[in-house]
């Protein structure tokens, strides 16, 4: 059985909710990622911040990224998966919630992230085609 832990990329880092978006953008650049899980003061997942969130939700709205925090951008119920979960559960979670990045948790700690590129490298062509169709077809209609 292939698990979330098998296909994730390690080295994911939190951005604390109190950090500003300019610092988040710098961290994204340093890590070469487009998303960061947001943690509360107890290192619990409270959201995910994407580069698009920074551009569309802050900069394009005329806000100063040095004054807006990651926590200000956290919306909705954060989604995550246990490292031992089967790949089928990963796909179900991502498809069911139309998300493209999924934090992986083990012993209540962030251990990695699963992104589209991780799926592309680890799924069969049929699995990947089904995932793309279900996630992108729904988001295109909304």
Q: Quick: pLDDT tens for 2-44.
A: 899 999 988 789 999 999 999 999 999 999 889 999 999 888 8
Report the Cα–Cα distance between both ends of the chain, in Å, rounded: 34
Q: Single out the residue of 93, 104, 105, 103 nearest to residue 131, CA to CA.
A: 93
Strand partners for 121: none
- Read off the pTM: 0.82
> What average pLDDT is seen over the chain?
89
pLDDT value at 132 more than 50? yes
Task: Write down the pLDDT at residue 42.
Answer: 87
Strand partners for 112: 10, 104
User: Would you state the CATH architecture of domain 4-141?
Assistant: Roll (3.10)
pLDDT value at 98 more than 60? yes
Domain locations in the chain?
4-141
Task: Write down the pLDDT at residue 142.
Answer: 46
Percent of the chain's residues with pLDDT above 90: 54
Distance CA 108, CA 128 (A): 29
Q: How many CB atoms lie within 10 A of CB 52?
A: 10
Q: Which tokens belong to 141?
A: 């209609």
Non-local (6+) Cβ contacts of 10 within 8 A are: 111, 112
Task: Write down the pLDDT at residue 52.
Answer: 93
For the residues 74-96, what does the mean pLDDT come to? Answer: 90
Task: Write down the pLDDT at residue 76.
Answer: 77
The answer to whether 65 and 106 are in contact (CB under 8 A) is: no
The answer to whether 57 and 73 are in contact (CB under 8 A) is: yes
């Amino acid at each position: 059985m292939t698990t979330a832990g098998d296909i994730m990329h390690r080295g994911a880092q939190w951005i604390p909710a109190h950090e500003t978006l300019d610092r988040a953008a710098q961290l994204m650049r340093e890590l070469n990622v487009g998303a960061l899980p947001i943690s509360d003061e107890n290192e619990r997942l409270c959201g995910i911040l994407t580069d698009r969130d920074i551009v569309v939700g802050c900069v394009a709205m005329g806000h100063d990224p040095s004054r807006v925090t990651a926590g200000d951008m956290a919306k909705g119920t954060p989604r995550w998966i246990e490292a031992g979960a089967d790949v089928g559960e990963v796909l179900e979670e991502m498809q069911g919630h139309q998300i493209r990045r999924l934090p992986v948790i083990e012993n209540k700690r962030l251990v990695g992230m699963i992104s589209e590129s991780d799926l592309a490298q680890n799924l069969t062509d049929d699995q990947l085609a089904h995932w793309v169709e279900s996630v992108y077809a729904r988001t295109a209609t909304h």
